[in-house]
Structure 1
Amino acid sequence: MAPHPLPYDNARHLDHPGFPAVIINFDLNDLQAFRAVVDKGSFRGAAEAIRISQPALSRRIEKLETALDVKLFERTTRRVSLTMVGRAFLPKVERMLDDLDVALMGISNVASTRMGNVTIACVPSTAYYFMPHVISEFHKLYPKIRLRVLDASAGEVCHAVASGEADFGVSFSGSLADEVEFELLLQERYVLACRRDHPLAQRDSVTWAEAYEHDYITVDKTSGNRFLLDQALRGVRVKKPSICETHHVTTMIGLVEAGLGVAMVPSIAMPAGEHPILVSVPLVEPHVMRNVGLIKRRGRTLPPAALELERLVREMPFRSA
């Protein structure tokens, strides 16, 4: 968020027994610092998030506590936690900052100048071809908002969202932490990724057993996709081992493009339109599906900029072969 040295009427907005019933002028930068410390759980992480030095952040918090004449945080060498008064203060601060952000983002000539940070975590299969379209559209609307993309395994995406490192995530359903919730966006099927010059490229569909007769690349046992496929393909006879294992689907596609073999991948991982080298062929017997959706930390309201990115993720058409 850009600096907004605007006064706020404490008597009107902070009507709680823990706060003095007098008019106090707040700098919104101080409130921004307070929310950043809460979100990141540390002064160091908060300072990095709003791009100021740690001493400068500490001064903002001290200024706020002095103005209110209350203690907002309990600080030890290992952790930072809200006091009882701090917990009461938090929802009021969030409402003020979010209301301001919503108002500013609703003004077209102001929205393009909005500053801030948004972090999205996503599995690599969504990051390679799908997310660039989302990011491009977001950057056109909000060129000064800095986006951070954490492309990682499903487990790491879940952890990033649960810990607050990411505002929200795009992943597939599976073993999720209790702190996060999953919202289905689409069901996608697995397809065969191969080169245009491969013998299977012109087929309308290919069975899994047929695909395994060719040189193929697969993901290793640390991948969430591998677990899903092992469960779904128990009845499929595999005649020979893979020629190579990778950790991420995107690496498999690169190896396919280089001519090493074929790979069985989620449809969203493949290019949406015509590609000069790669082809997607539907896999059958069985049809293997994967649920892809948004994951968010339970009970958390996304800040306006993150809500805008989430809206674009929802609205961007998914490809499901």
Structure 2
Amino acid sequence: MTGDSIKFTPERLARDLDWNLLKTFQVIAKSKSITDAANTLRLRQPSVSASLKRLEERLGKKLIERSPGNFRLTRAGELLEREIVEIHGTILRLETLLRDTEDEIRGHVRIAMASHVECPFFDNALSQFHQQHPNATLSIEISASRHAIENLMARKASVAICLVKDRSPKLNYKRLFREHFGLFCGPEHPLFGKENLTSSDLAGHSSVSFVTDQMGDALRQVALMRAQADLADRIVGTSANLEEVRRMIIAGLGIGPLPIHVAKRDVDNGILWRLPPYVSPPAIDVYVVENPKAQLNRAEQAFCRIIHALIDSTPIEDRIYG
């Protein structure tokens, strides 16, 4: 910005900054151009450009780099966009917080959860919560772990139950349980029912897996297991949902990873077959993740107290599956 920009103290900025400018910038940040943002907002392009200019002048920072063929956020723009997401989440929760002032807990708990969470320990927390607060409500949204974290950061979720790749200093993490993964095939696969197999027997076979089954992602240890089995490089099917990965394995699309304790029922029923490696299967930790900046309603606070008490009173040895 030029030297003519008005310099605002933090107090003046907080008092004078127009929330509508921030909302407009949030749309601009997700758009490909000012024209694209104007179409989304149903405003004229000069009006959106003027809003961006006013916001940049208020902050004394350039937020968007614009030139022919180039439209991108500056570092300041990226930081501002992340903060707007949190501010927006707080505003959305005001009505819930103000409504939840009665003695009896009636609030709503939103849980963002990865699809492969099968944990009697977690089920116990749900049961205790309902028994203690029968008038509170609860919803569980299944998604990829990274989306669960995004919803938590945006304060669209009360708590996340998911895998963790990189820890954010803005969030709190507590290990809920540990699960072990194995490789499995379905009845249509040529290795189904065969015993005394070794990892070399899996070489060259096609595979299916989770979208996070990558060397640089949360299921890195599972990706290593697949690599050591020398499966074909091309993964023929992927999903963020355990049920869909299971479906593709059973349908014969390829060999795929599943939590051993989750697959046990299908193995016992003869619709999945465990493949090597049988020793030292990769261990994956699942975490309870919370946003300490979020203003939780009383139902959310109660649920978090219950799950933390269960974790603290249960040794990790009793929270390891498979």
Distance 2:109 2:143 in 1: 17
Match of 1:305 in 2: 303
SS at match of 1:161: helix
Match of 1:150 in 2: 141
Aligned match for 1:293, one of 287, 309, 313: 287
Q: 1:264 to 1:38 in 2, by over 3 A?
A: closer
Instruction: Give 1:228 deviation, angstroms.
Output: 4.5
The answer (yes or no) to whether the contact 2:112–2:142 under 8 Å persists in 1 is yes
Distance 1:160 1:210 in 2: 42
The answer (yes or no) to whether the contact 1:219–1:225 under 8 Å persists in 2 is no
The answer (yes or no) to whether the contact 1:206–1:281 under 8 Å persists in 2 is no
Match of 2:4 in 1: none
Are positions 1:263 and 2:312 aligned together?
no
SS at match of 1:125: coil
Distance 2:140 2:194 in 1: 36
Aligned match for 1:41, one of 50, 75, 90: 90
The answer (yes or no) to whether the contact 2:177–2:320 under 8 Å persists in 1 is no
Instruction: Give 1:135 deviation, angstroms.
Output: 4.2
Instruction: Give 1:194 deviation, angstroms.
Output: 3.4
Q: 1:319 to 1:193 in 2, by over 3 A?
A: farther
Q: 1:242 to 1:222 in 2, by over 3 A?
A: closer
Aligned match for 1:254, one of 233, 238, 247: 247
Instruction: Give 1:252 deviation, angstroms.
Output: 0.6
Aligned match for 2:230, one of 234, 237, 240: 237
Are positions 1:124 and 2:118 aligned together?
no
Are positions 1:184 and 2:175 aligned together?
yes
Distance 2:127 2:135 in 1: 13
Q: 1:262 to 1:169 in 2, by over 3 A?
A: same
Instruction: Give 1:253 deviation, angstroms.
Output: 0.7
SS at match of 1:173: coil
Normalising by structure 1, we get a TM-score of 0.53
Which structure 2 residues correspond to residues 1-321 of structure 1 after superposition, within 5 A?
Answer: 40-42=89-91, 44-47=92-95, 49=96, 114-126=105-117, 135=126, 138-195=129-186, 200=191, 208-220=199-211, 224-225=217-218, 227-230=220-223, 235-239=228-232, 241-267=234-260, 269-270=262-263, 276-279=269-272, 281=274, 283-284=276-277, 287-298=281-292, 303-309=301-307, 311=309, 320-321=321-322
* Deviation digits for residues 62-98 of structure 1 (CA, Å, limit 9, x no counterpart): xxxxxxxxxxxxxxxxxxxxxxxxxxxxxxxx9xx7x
SS at match of 2:235: coil
Distance 1:237 1:219 in 2: 17
Distance 1:292 1:194 in 2: 24
Distance 2:225 2:254 in 1: 22
The answer (yes or no) to whether the contact 2:180–2:282 under 8 Å persists in 1 is yes
Q: 1:237 to 1:310 in 2, by over 3 A?
A: same
Alpha-carbon RMSD: 4.5
Distance 2:267 2:224 in 1: 32
SS at match of 2:151: helix
Distance 2:195 2:88 in 1: 50
Q: 1:145 to 1:258 in 2, by over 3 A?
A: farther
Q: 1:280 to 1:289 in 2, by over 3 A?
A: farther
Normalising by structure 2, we get a TM-score of 0.53
Q: Percent identity?
A: 13
The answer (yes or no) to whether the contact 1:209–1:238 under 8 Å persists in 2 is no
Q: 1:151 to 1:250 in 2, by over 3 A?
A: same
The count of residues paired between Structure 1 and Structure 2 equals: 227
The answer (yes or no) to whether the contact 1:222–1:247 under 8 Å persists in 2 is no
Distance 1:259 1:233 in 2: 17
Distance 1:272 1:131 in 2: 19
Instruction: Give 1:177 deviation, angstroms.
Output: 1.9
The answer (yes or no) to whether the contact 1:125–1:268 under 8 Å persists in 2 is no
Q: 1:232 to 1:202 in 2, by over 3 A?
A: closer
Instruction: Give 1:303 deviation, angstroms.
Output: 0.9
